[in-house]
Structures are given as C-alpha cells and as structure tokens.
Structure 1
Amino acid sequence: MTVHDRNFGKLTGMRFVVICLLAAFCLLFVPASVHAEEIGELSGTWYINDETGYKIELHDDASLLEESELRALAENMKGLTKYGSVGFFTSDTEGFRTSGLAHSLYDEYLWKQSSGAESGTMFLIDMANRKIYIYSNGVIYKTITNAYANTITDNVYKHATRGDYYKCAREVFLSEQTLLEGRKIAQPMKYVSNLFLALALAILINYILVKLFSRAKSPSDREMLAAIAATQRMNHVDVQFDRETKTYSPQSSGGGGGSGGGGGGGGSSGGGGGHSF
C-alpha cells in the first residue's frame, strides 16, 4: 500500500467521523422542536383543538404553579376542548370582586374566540380575595351550572387552603369533564343540606299536627247557657234568660312580601360559583 493510499484512507475515516458527529448533533434538536410545537406557550394560548376550534388559555399571573405543573395541568385540560374553550387563571390584583374578575377574563380571552358554537369554562384562583371561582358560558354552561360550580369548588377548596393549587385546579377540570361526559360527581354538601331541610320540614309538620289536634272546640251559646244554668241550680240561684247580644269585632290584617332581582350587561351571559379558602 502506498503512502497516498494510506492518506486517502485516513481522510475517508475522518470524514466519516465528522459526518456521524454532525448527524448526532442535529438529532439533539429534534425532540426539542417537537416538544415546543406540542406544548406551545405557557402564558397565553397553549393549545387549539383542530376538530372543534376550541382552545386552552393559561394565565398564571400570580405565579402559583411551577412550569412542570402548568404543562401537566394543560394536558388534563385538553379533554375539555371537545366541549368548549377552557382557561386557567390566577390573579393577585386587588380591587375587584372575584365573580366580576372571572367574567371579565372570560370575555377577554375565551368569549367568541373559536370557530365553534359559543361554549367555554374557566377556573380562577383569586389570591387578593382568597377565593376560587368557576365561570362558564354557552353550551358548557347548560351542564356546568351555578349549582355545580358551587359544588365543585366546595369539594376542592381545601387543596387551595393547603397551598396545593395544582391539585385544586386539576380536580376542578377533572370534575367538569366527568359531568360533561354524563357521569356524576360527589355532592356531600348537597346531601347535608337536604338532610337539614328534611329535618326542618318534619319539625314544621309535627308542629302543625299538634296544633290541629290540640285545639279546644269552642262551646256554642246554648251549651254555655246550659252550663251556667246547671251551675246556678247547684247553688240554688234562679237564673232567667233575658236576651242575647252579639258584637262584631273585625280582625286585624297584615301582609308581607319578597324581593328578587337580576342583572345583565355586555359580553357573555353565563354564570358560576366559588368558595373562599
């Protein structure tokens, strides 16, 4: 083998090594590119469902969740985009009522933001007022009603009290998906309320029955005179009936009333419920 052949072989080997290194270097960036495309932005629109047009919005303005928790939460929220747009929001801004803030955030980021029928739900952790709140609108609101929003937040507020905001939010969205899929969720507070209502009703019915059966029958005029005559005979007193008079005494009347109300405004017309923590 000549010197030229040996040099050529070395050059070929070096080229092979360089090519392999370049290929390995390029492969390092492939997972990162796919990952970024799949995850999207952690503040703002994170995901859009191509089939329904509904999206996921993440706005952790109070910085309550770690990046890994936000990613995991967003994955849990994906199933809800089958039914409507969904958002997770946190805030520590003072000077706003939680319900009003939730309504405003929904209108800004979720209302009429998709190509599908108006439908959406959002969960807000309001650190300024120490309250969690669910607001829904459109198609989803027919299922996630005010009553269910209150029930869900009743079930999860203890997680927020302990500072586990990720678990609190995750349980909210899992409960909503359970309801939207036609299944049931635990409603312990509803059962307790029904129990107290049943007890109160039983006490009221018992009171009415006692009053009805214990009411003494009023004697007639003839019976009263007969009783008086009998008493007077026992005392050897002569009693003579002269005349009978009647006096009309009108009863006083009274009345009461109730009040009700409603409200409205621009933007979405949904509703929700929440719980302090």
Structure 2
Amino acid sequence: MPRSVIDRVMITVMITLLFLVVGCNGAVTVHASENDQDDSYSYHYKVRIKDYADVLTKSQEAQLTETMQETARYCNVFCETSDFIFGSSADYAESAYKRELDTRNGVMFLIDMCNRQIYIYSYGEPYRIITKTNAYTITDNVYEYASEEKYFECANEAFRQINTLLAGEEISRPMKHISNILLAIIFSILL
C-alpha cells in the first residue's frame, strides 16, 4: 500500500480515538437530590375537565385527571365534552380553550357529541410539538374508542399519547405508514 493511504488511515483512526477519549472524559454526570424530585404535581399549570355531554362517570373523571396531571408537567391541560356545538369542532375548541385558559400555553381535547368528532387544540409552546399533524395522528389513533362509545378510554389514550410526544418520544403512526406503502405501490406501477 502506498504511504499516503496508510497515513490517512492512521490519522482517521487517531481522530476517532481522540473523539472517543474526549467524549468519555467530557461526559457530565447529573445527580438529583430528593429535594429536586417533585412527584406531587404541584405545578402552576391547570388541569380542567368540563363534561357538558355527561359521558364520563365521577371515577372516570378522577382517572382522567391523573393522566392529565402528567401533561400538566409541561403545560395547561383541558378536556371538554359537549353536545351543544354550532359550527365546526375546530372553531368551538379554539373559543372554549380561550374562554378557559385565555392565552396560556396548553393542550385541549374535545369530544364533540353534536358533530360526532374528536379534536385536539394546542396553543403556545405545546404547539411546537402538538402540531395539527400530530393532533390528527392522535385522533386517528383513538377514534375507534369514540366510535364504540368508550369516551373515557378515548380521552385517556389521547392524553397518554400527548404525554408521550411532550416527553420527546414517538407515537404509533399507522395511517402514515399505510399511505406511504400505497404511494410506493402506485409509483412502482407507474414506473
């Protein structure tokens, strides 16, 4: 082998080892004291449930509140069921959110019994994560519960997926994968 190739390989190996050594020594260890850990949910964010359609029992509201408390680590959280909506679910969700939480950061889940729709509205910082695309994905993932009249399961699973996204993790996106497969099949047929 020519000398220049051996030199390049040696330099590459040394640089890689240097990055590994510096990376290992530059690692920062973080320790939390018991005083820093707060699982009491004493955050300044609000959790609100308005069950105007009366589709949740008191025990279901209590269980849903526990799930929503996880979201309250990141932002205000609001769940409403209504059977008296004129217009679109999106317009109603926005006005209900602003009526309850004004212009504070937060996420709202709406079960619209009048139009038979579920809708997620986010405002402020959470909108960076709970975008319209992510909101539609979540509602696609939980709509079967609503169609089977399992409204607690629908709302609870929606907030669990919202929590997953806010924690920086991924959620299942079956409709996206199905549409990608169909597009691949169509393009392969066209080619």
Shorter-chain TM-score range: 0.7 to 0.9
Q: Is 1:203 aligned to residue 183 of structure 2?
A: no
TM-score by length of structure 1 reads 0.53
What is the Cα deviation at residue 128 of structure 1?
Answer: 0.3
CA distance in 2, matches of 1:155, 1:81: 22
Do the aligned residues in 2 keep the contact of 1:111 with 1:120 (CA within 8 Å)?
Answer: no
Alignment-derived partner of residue 15 in structure 2: none
Q: Is 1:104 aligned to residue 90 of structure 2?
A: no
**Aligned residue runs from structure 1 range 67-82, under 5 A:** 67-82=58-73
Do the aligned residues in 1 keep the contact of 2:85 with 2:92 (CA within 8 Å)?
Answer: no
CA distance in 2, matches of 1:152, 1:111: 24
Q: Is 1:58 aligned to residue 49 of structure 2?
A: yes
**Aligned residue runs from structure 1 range 147-226, under 5 A:** 147-204=133-190, 206=191
Secondary structure at the aligned position of 2:72 is classed as: helix
Alignment-derived partner of residue 130 in structure 1: 116
CA distance in 2, matches of 1:119, 1:200: 42
Do the aligned residues in 2 keep the contact of 1:77 with 1:173 (CA within 8 Å)?
Answer: yes
1:17-54 CA-to-partner distances (Å, cap 9, x unmatched) read xxxxxxxxxxxxxxxxxxxxxxxxxxxxxxxx644x21
What is the Cα deviation at residue 192 of structure 1?
Answer: 0.4
Q: CA RMSD in A?
A: 1.2
Secondary structure at the aligned position of 1:184 is classed as: coil
The structure with the largest alpha-carbon Rg is 1
What is the Cα deviation at residue 203 of structure 1?
Answer: 2.9
TM-score by length of structure 2 reads 0.76
Do the aligned residues in 2 keep the contact of 1:125 with 1:133 (CA within 8 Å)?
Answer: yes
What is the Cα deviation at residue 111 of structure 1?
Answer: 2.7
CA distance in 2, matches of 1:131, 1:203: 36
1:170-220 CA-to-partner distances (Å, cap 9, x unmatched) read 00000000111111111100000111122222233x1xxxxxxxxxxxxxx
Of the two structures, which has the highest relative contact order with CA contacts closer than 8 Å and spacing of 6 or more? 1
Alignment-derived partner of residue 8 in structure 2: none
Alignment-derived partner of residue 226 in structure 1: none
Secondary structure at the aligned position of 1:124 is classed as: strand
Unaligned runs of 5+ in 2: 1-40
Q: What amino acid is the match of 2:74?
A: Y
Secondary structure at the aligned position of 1:132 is classed as: strand
CA distance in 2, matches of 1:135, 1:202: 38
Q: Identity of paired residues, percent?
A: 42
CA distance in 2, matches of 1:110, 1:186: 29
Q: What amino acid is the match of 1:191?
A: H
Unaligned runs of 5+ in 1: 1-48, 113-117, 207-277
Q: Is 1:144 aligned to residue 159 of structure 2?
A: no
Q: Where has structure 1 moved over 6 Å in runs of 4 or more?
A: none
Secondary structure at the aligned position of 2:109 is classed as: strand
Secondary structure at the aligned position of 1:82 is classed as: coil
Aligned length: 151
1:53-76 CA-to-partner distances (Å, cap 9, x unmatched) read 210111000000001100110011
Alignment-derived partner of residue 274 in structure 1: none
